[in-house]
Structure 1
Amino acid sequence: MFPSLKTTSLFLSCLTLGAQAALDGHCPPLGPVLPAPTEPSKHEAVPAAAKALKEILQQMTASYNTSAVAIGVKSIHESNLLFEYSYTPPNKDKRGAQTVDSDTVFRLGSLTKVFPVLALLKLKDRGVSLDDPITKYVPELRELKSQAREDSQVWAVEWDDVTLGSLASHMGGIPSDLITDIAPFGNLSAYGYPPADSSKFLGCSGFFGMPSCNKTIFFERFGERPPVQVPFSPQTVYSNIAFPILSFAVEAITKQPFADFVNNEIWKPTNMTRSFTEKPDDDLAFIPVNDSWWDADLGFQGPEGGYFSTINDLMRFGDAILKDELLTPAQTRKWLKPVIATSSKGLLIGQPWEIFRAENVTTDGRMIEVITKTGDLISYYSILLLIPDYDLVATLLVAGPGGPGEISGSALNLMASRLVATFLPALEKAGKAEVEAAYGGTYTDKKTNSSITLSLNDDGPGFSISKYVIRGVDIPTTDPGSTLPPAKVPFLDPPMRYRLYPASTKSDTQTSWRAVGTRGTAEQVEMSDAQIVWPMASCITWAMMDRVTFMGGARDHFVFDVEKGKLASGV
């Protein structure tokens, strides 16, 4: 329920464990620069990474007396996990499971937020769009303005301007929460607060023995809270309450309880048999000693952070996302895209994803996006990670009462960083080995005196193209770029440097690739970029692809014929 964004800076800072960057002046497109490995477990680098990560985690958890850890890593191309780790502390609550494994239930906290958004996306066939105003489905929200101190932008939410998508991406500008008011929980004068007016208490929260709040209290009281921003403000503001409101929309559309929709339309098809919208039997779960948060009932706010699951179920869920089993391929790709930036250079926000960007993980030094949803419910923490560049899913679930030497949100993010920094270089090696065996080598057409060599003999991104001769013409020294070729053929010194990257367009019998040229040495590129105030100013590959065509064909387009997954020929 509570966002763990407060600790996510560690997620990026600890990625410096990765190898040194080696872009060498190249500008690869964002996304995979080689196909993801389909049999990563068979490459020696991957089990070696698993061993190294296990040793790291053993050191990190050695001091835990009351904190439990469960972690899984999986390629969507293999049925078994690439890595599995669990830690059972010596001290745990007798109510819960006494041994932690990948089937042990944990609370998810805000990881729960993915389900209201996915539910709405699955309703596209009913005409639902994330651009729809929330009042199209929950018109009673308009009545909340009558509870505001005054009808102005400062004190009242203009609900007709709030869309489903703005709520899903924390851009609705609405108040963050309803049930986190601290007034009923003690004398707070020492912190500068005035005496509390008990007539203003909600009388519910679901915490510390108080009953949970229901939908009725939301519509009776939430309008008292002023907005934080106007919708779609540049200042994104994390909102818990947005996701119960989205669940109201799902219920209005489907005419069934939101929990039933999640169970029937998401969890059952994905075989998530140990995921729950309400607290399951205690003996299924890890419960920290004397923990009160295991029993906390978030009531109507359950869709923001109240659900329960396991490593194995969440691995099935992540698998299903990246395999396009829950949405169409186009819907999935769109869902995993960021929609707004934050003040952190390394963090973008999706619906409802937290998308981290790092340049220091893989040997080629390119930008990698790690799509995550984090969760924090005081003594329970969670992270789901999706890395489409490598078709990788990872999940981390931990719980503990906190305190010195025990688990915390920052410790979980540190674990996630270690996982990414350890596994991605190994997967990169596995992918290169597979792709070089399939595509590497020299392609020759003697009839036209043409020859192209593809190799992975350096740390740069994608394939290196050398011996690039077409109809007797040496392309690297004569390429005029995206301009109309001059009458006199130029001689380039230094020559163009080319890399070949996979495109997302493919069929059962062909794969499509695009070549990207770099004009100048790495030093020349660096000197040019140093004159511009924003970083990597010359990196405009996104604007240069498919620019030079001849008789309808693109100069940078390479197509390979494949048979039963193996290369047959290249064009």
Structure 2
Amino acid sequence: MLSSLLTKFLLLSCVNHCALAALNGHCPPLGPVLPAPTQPSKHGAVSAAATTLKGIINKTTAAYNSSAVAIGVKSIHESGFVFSYTYTPPDKDEIGTQAVDLDTVFRIGSVSKLFAPLALLKLGISLDEPITKYVPELRALKSQAREDSPVWAVEWDDVTLGSLASHMSGIPSDLITDMAPLGNLSAYGYPAANSSELLSCSGFFGTPSCNRTAFFANFGKRPPAQVPFSAQTVYSNVAFAILSFAVETIAKQPFADYVGKEIWKRTNMARTFATQPNASLAFIPVDDIWWPADLGFEGPGGGYFSTINDLHRLGDAILKHKLLSPVRTRKWMKPVTSTSSTGVLIGQPWEILRAENVTSDGRMIELYTKRGEIISYYSTFALIPDYDLVITILVAGPGTPGEVTGASMDLMMSQVVKTLLPAVEKAGKTEAKAAYAGIYVDQRTNSTITLFLDDKDDDDNDGPGFSISRYVIRGVDVPTTDPGGTTLPASAPPALDPPMRYRLYPASATTMTRTSGSGLEQGLQQRQQISWRAVGTRSRGADEVAARDAQFAWPMYSCVTWATMDRVTFGFGARDHFVFNLEDGGRAMAVEAVGYKVRMERMSPS
């Protein structure tokens, strides 16, 4: 054991590498540690948090004279909102709505990027396919490059649909934002513009929008930002326009028509538009020049319009697997690459935010987000699968000092998460306690297991998942005899001191329904089952774990649950595998310790 002096030294040196201390030495698997609550808005803690959050945001918007705000937080299991908020500023353009509500239309900027990858997945296309399979004319862009080399020309056959969706293609970021046509910029150090290098379109400042023809006539002149699949992820707006070209090839119709029919109509997103809708539906800042801006061929990358209610319909449809099958949805909602920020991973096209300072147990929570900005308009769309939550924020304003900005919107998002999520977690614990906590017994084999949450007499009550306080199988006390690992057990079990500590976590968010019987009984006898996994640790506590981890160059050295689960089996059943049988309403009736081949009935609900 480390000496107390060395332990103190290592604790002082670990700084930000002591995340397991917050977890009380536990290492839960990534993902939900309890089932998501199905009625969070009815919990007192959530109601109180919503009131607190409203006060926080009221203080922010009190300074806004020209900026509008709309926010929604909703569980996919409820019809109403966990939290909603709208603010209408005193100054607004008279051509737009004079009262902001959850159906008010805003520009959503890069939240538009969600629809191109989603459309391809709905069409059954693998994102590993090369883009040139569907847009072969991209190859001809190399003829516009200064040289045919990786420095000056994109090797389009190396670019996949998925690399475009995850900003890993290395292609140039944009076309329509070129500054050369804006006039004399010598004060900024630029030379006089060469007439042959002027783009005659952009969609901004009254200029015509660029169409697909303009793209193919000019984009090859732009050198690549990186080679495909480089370590340096480079954000690209044009990538999503190119993905829309692929959708048009496959679906044989304009991109907006396909998305409108197969995504927006199917999810009742009646106030979501690919082109500028009637201004009376929208909030428009005073004298705003960005409301009418037409992004042309780049529309799929940032040109669309929507509302809080419509985006929540989209979020519900994604998390409820209404647009893609469950497995395709899960595959889509995964990181693809990392960034220079340890708190941000990139998906297709998700910006996956990782937070460790939100829940009471200090575990990592992933927020699958897409953020958008188009000068006057800012948007955030976020899914939190651990809690089945959808969060949307839409704001608009002049972007002047004292008004809303991209940074202030991000802070607003952070306030929403940090205020509401701990309360939603409490709601989940209350529901899980009623559904699973208690004593499970099989008297025939002298086996019992006790599960609890928030036991005031236990110093481990803030740990993730369920704690197993009593764990006896066939008269054997498992925590004091569990040899751990995958090695063969000794002839006699060890006497472990301290004993193993176990936490139990759901292995899947999906409950299976099985039918048994035949004839008239078929379909009448049902049992719902859900898999959970137990994770054990033999540490003496969080401080010792943190001290050990501080010796290593990377954080959370001890947290290797992903590599230890399902390793020890007996008769093809894993020692850490537990299957609950649920009655209607989701209350557990029994649990099977699969590796030990024991089924225990629930004797007490708490």
- On whether the aligned pair clears a TM of 0.5, the verdict is yes
* Interval containing the TM-score (normalised by the shorter chain): over 0.9
1:520 aligns to 2:520 (yes or no): no
The question of 1:188 aligning with 2:185 is answered yes
Aligned-partner Cα distance in 1 for 2:183–2:44: 57
The runs of 4+ residues in structure 1 deviating greater than 6 Å are none
2:204 to 198, 204, 207: 207
Q: Give the 3-state SS of the residue equivalent to 1:303 in structure 2.
A: helix
**What code does the residue aligned with 1:569 have?**
A
Structure 1 match to 2:471: 468
| 1:506 has 2:506 as partner | no
User: What are the Cα deviations for residues 348-379 of structure 1, in whole angstroms up to 9, with x where unaligned?
Assistant: 00000100001110001101001100000000
2:142 aligned with 1:131:
no
Please give the secondary structure, in 2, of the residue aligned with 1:190. Answer: helix
Deviations 1:175-228 (A, max 9, x none): 001000111213211111111123321110000011100110111111000001
**1: CA distance between counterparts of 2:352 and 2:294?**
29
Contact 1:148 1:226 in 2 (8 A): yes
Question: How far apart in 2 are the matches of 1:514 and 1:144?
Answer: 53
Contact 1:21 1:362 in 2 (8 A): no
CA deviation string 1:35-61 (max 9, x = no partner): 000111111011111111111110010
CA contact (8 A) 1:443 1:453 kept: yes
Q: Which residue of 1 aligns with 2:555?
A: 535
Instruction: State how far apart, in whole Å, the 1-side matches of 2:378 and 2:239 are.
Output: 20
Pairing 1:560–2:580 present: yes
Task: Measure how far apart 1:21 and its partner are.
Answer: 7.0
Name the SS of the counterpart of 2:274 in structure 1.
coil
| 2:491 is aligned with 1:491 | no
Q: Could you tell me which residue of structure 2 aligns to residue 73 of structure 1?
A: 73
| Residues 21 and 38 of structure 1: CA distance in aligned 2, closer, same or farther (over 3 Å) | farther
Correspondence for 2:523: none
Does residue 1:169 correspond to 2:174, yes or no?
no
Residue 92 of structure 1 corresponds to: 92
Question: Aligned partner of 1:506: which letter?
Answer: T
Q: Which residue of 1 is the match for residue 33 of structure 2? A: 33
Calculate the TM-score normalised by the size of structure 2: 0.90
Aligned-pair CA distance for 1:474: 1.1
Equivalent residue, structure 2, for 1:239: 236
**Residues 395-414 of structure 1 aligned to structure 2 (within 5 Å):** 395-414=392-411
Deviation string for 1:313-348 (max 9, x for gaps)? 000000110000010000111111010000100000
2:566 to 541, 546, 561: 546
* Separation in structure 2 between the aligned mates of residue 299 and residue 531 of structure 1, nearest angstrom: 54
Shift of 1:405: 1.0
State the SS of the aligned residue for 2:182: coil
Q: Is the 8 A contact 1:72 1:84 kept in 2?
A: yes
Change (3 A) 1:26 1:303: same
1:570 aligns with 2:591: yes
Match of 2:311 among 306, 310, 314: 314
Bigger relative contact order, structure 1 or 2 (CA pairs below 8 A, ≥6 apart): 1
TM-score, normalisation: structure 1: 0.95
| Aligned-partner residue type, residue 548 of structure 1 | V
1:481 and 2:500 are equivalent in the alignment: no
Corresponding residue for residue 273 of structure 1 = 270
1:23 maps to 23
Aligned to 1:144, which of 129, 138, 141?
A: 141
In the other structure, the counterpart of 2:458 is none
| Aligned partner letter, 1:469 | V
1:454 to 451, 456, 460: 451
1:485-513 deviations in Å (ceiling 9; x for gaps): 11232111111110000011631211111
The C-alpha deviation readout for 1:74-126, integer Å capped at 9, x for no partner, is 000001111110000000001100110100000010000000110000111xx
The structure-2 alpha-carbon separation of the partners of 1:20 and 1:287, relative to structure 1 and needing over 3 Å to count, comes to: farther
Unaligned runs of 5+ in 1: 1-15
* Structure 1 position 20, deviation (Å): 12
Larger radius of gyration: 2
**Mind listing any 5+ residue stretches in structure 2 that lack a counterpart?**
1-15, 455-460, 514-527, 593-606
- The correspondence for 2:221, drawn from 208, 214, 224, is 224
Cα deviation, residue 447, structure 1 = 2.1
Find the partner of 1:368 among 365, 369, 376.
365
